[in-house]
Copies of this chain bind each other. A is one copy, B any other.
Amino acid sequence: PWVACCRRVCLSWIGADWIFLMLLGVALALLSFLMDIFIFLFMDAHRFLYHLSDSNVMLQYLTWITFPLLLMLFAAGFTQMLAPQASGSGIPEIKIILRGLMMKEYLTLKTLVVKVISLVCVLGSELPVGKEGPFVHFGALCAALLCKFMSFFSDIYKNEARNLEMLTAGCAVGIGCCFAAPVGGVLFSIEVTSVFFAVRNYWRGLMSSVFGILIFRLLAVWNKEEETIMALFPTKFRLEYPFDLQELPAFAVMGIACGFGGALFVYLNGKIALFVKKQKAMKNFLLTNCFIYSGLVSVFISSLTFPPGFGQFMAGQLTQRESLISFFDNRTWSKEGIVEDFHPDDHLSAWKHPQANVFIILSVFIMMKFWMSALSITLPIPAGSFVPVFVIGAAFGRLVGEGMATLFPDGFETEHGVHPIIPGAYAVVGAAALTAGITHTISTAVIMIELTGQIRYGLPILIAVILSNIISQSLQPSIYDSIIRLKKLPYLPELGWGHQEKYSLHVEDFMVRDVRYITLKSTYRDLLKILRTGNHKKLPLVKSEDSMILLGSVERAQIRRLLKQHAQHLRDLVDEERQH
């Protein structure tokens, strides 16, 4: 008896919430860590081959474009053949699932494996796409699979409503592990996936995230990447007097500009996606087309970033991570002698050019990356839009910051001394604001703070993010809603928080009044008439025309079958009569 008792206790213990949350955290931390390793491996291999062939520019160019091309073709083919549902970021679909419409094929082990492998290839190919959207999807996938696994131990995991709550926690952990941002990750996943939210899910998400991130960062320490647990992109801006009050308007204007930029990005992305869709419909060779399209885009983009070619004007050799680190640099590049001093082995030397100054390179970088990212995320591969937009925003912020530093070279004077402007801080604000503009979230501010490990610019970031949201929300839907519309997924638009006229909207204002129905006394003629005049899939059946009490619904197909049978019967009768 005590064996049975012990077993029961053991099983209920394994089925407990916190075991699940810890397992989820560990799974996603490991996934994030291993994926990063392979992505860096690919990138290093690319760099290694590129530097190996530096005797001949033509050969070097071929190496530069072939490596990403192969990875891209593999990723596109692998995704399209095995699990087409793994393409895109996955956030739009998760949004639909969390609103109650179970799209089962999106939560299978096959999708997870295919998406992980493809994403590693895509990110290894240095296409300007990100991993944050796919990580929301991974989080949900891991949670769903873990629920299935845990249901062997505890019956509670057979409860569908509870499993949906666990999916929510999974999304939060996914994004948290991706950026090492526990609070920001949880808030972001809430904002992009939910309309209403249970506080207990916020707790679940945060607990699992913290555990996952602890593991994720410990792995980095054990792997000798870091000395101790730190933020992913730690900044070292001064703690005293972070910004002057006179800089606030500049931050605000930047927020507004980022709002317009975010709306433009969503618009551009939508236009490209629609254009591609039309081409596809024309050719009807989805698989081949998909290959050709992905390959063409890859060759086109890597040709432009080829460092000895046009790439020298847009810091083409930098990966997204290296660009971000350089934007958050604590020096003022526009000051004389700073850029010239960058060591050639340093990543920062990408911003040094004998003919062009840093403003030109930054502007070209922003413009090129803008359309490249908008184009790349329409490809049929796993790809997120958060990180590339983040990089563009940081570049824009750096540009504004350098401009401010040129306008006010001596900074702002107060009683206690002179405080120069920090362009790196503008990059931080810009990155948060532009990402907020395309995702329509405020929590990008929190992610930004956790990512850089500094909160002294908290208020400017929040102000810019809110202004960016106000502008972009009134111009365009968020990138996720835009994709939902493009993919024509079933979806109820949100009420929003500024649209007070919707509060006086009632069902009667938009309901269909001229409903076709069948009564118990309908004749075959009536049925035929209804079938001919409308094309509803289902028809309501009411008791009588006066009472209008709904008894149920009849499918169109059933009525058609009935009518056919009846017609056959009539024909048979006529035939019989003729024979007589």
Identical copies in the complex: 2
In Å, the complex CA distance between A156 and B218 comes to 52
Interface contact A199-B190, CB-CB below 8 Å:
yes
> Interface extent on A, as a size class?
35 or more
**Residues 455-511 (chain A) with a chain B CB within 8 angstroms:** 455-456, 458-459, 462-463, 466, 469-470, 494-498, 500, 503-504
Stretch at the interface among A85-93, A206-214, A294-302, A391-399: A206-214
Most buried by B among A200, A454, A500: A500
Given known pairs A16-B498, A236-B239, A459-B214, the reply for A221 and B203 (CB within 8 Å) is no
* A124 interface residue per 8 A CB criterion: no
Stretch at the interface among A132-140, A241-249, A342-350, A532-540: A241-249
* A523 interface residue per 8 A CB criterion: no
Interface contact A456-B453, CB-CB below 8 Å:
yes
Residues in B with CB closer than 8 Å to A231 are: 455-456
* A204 interface residue per 8 A CB criterion: yes
* A577 interface residue per 8 A CB criterion: no
Given known pairs A194-B199, A203-B442, A245-B228, the reply for A459 and B500 (CB within 8 Å) is no
* A154 interface residue per 8 A CB criterion: yes
Return the CB mask of A257-275 against B: 1 if under 8 Å, else 0: 0000000000000000000
In Å, the complex CA distance between A228 and B454 comes to 17
Interface contact A446-B197, CB-CB below 8 Å:
no
Given contact pairs A183-B462, A207-B466, A228-B244, a sample of 20 additional A-B residue pairs in the complex whose CB atoms are under 8 Å apart: A16-B500, A17-B500, A154-B500, A156-B504, A190-B202, A191-B199, A194-B199, A196-B196, A201-B497, A210-B459, A213-B459, A218-B245, A227-B414, A228-B241, A228-B242, A236-B239, A239-B239, A449-B455, A450-B455, A450-B458
Interface contact A17-B198, CB-CB below 8 Å:
no
* A372 interface residue per 8 A CB criterion: no
Residues in B with CB closer than 8 Å to A200 are: 195, 494-497
Residue of B at shortest CB range from A154?
B500
Interface contact B466-A210, CB-CB below 8 Å:
yes
Q: How far is the CB of A129 from chain B (nearest CB, A)?
A: 26
Residue of B at shortest CB range from A221?
B245
Interface contact A463-B214, CB-CB below 8 Å:
yes
Interface contact B196-A446, CB-CB below 8 Å:
no
* The 10 nearest A-B residue pairs measured at CB: A200-B497, A455-B455, A156-B500, A210-B462, A17-B498, A236-B239, A203-B497, A196-B198, A206-B442, A228-B241
Most buried by B among A218, A236, A446, A458: A458
Residue of B at shortest CB range from A198?
B196
* A46 interface residue per 8 A CB criterion: no
* A15 interface residue per 8 A CB criterion: yes
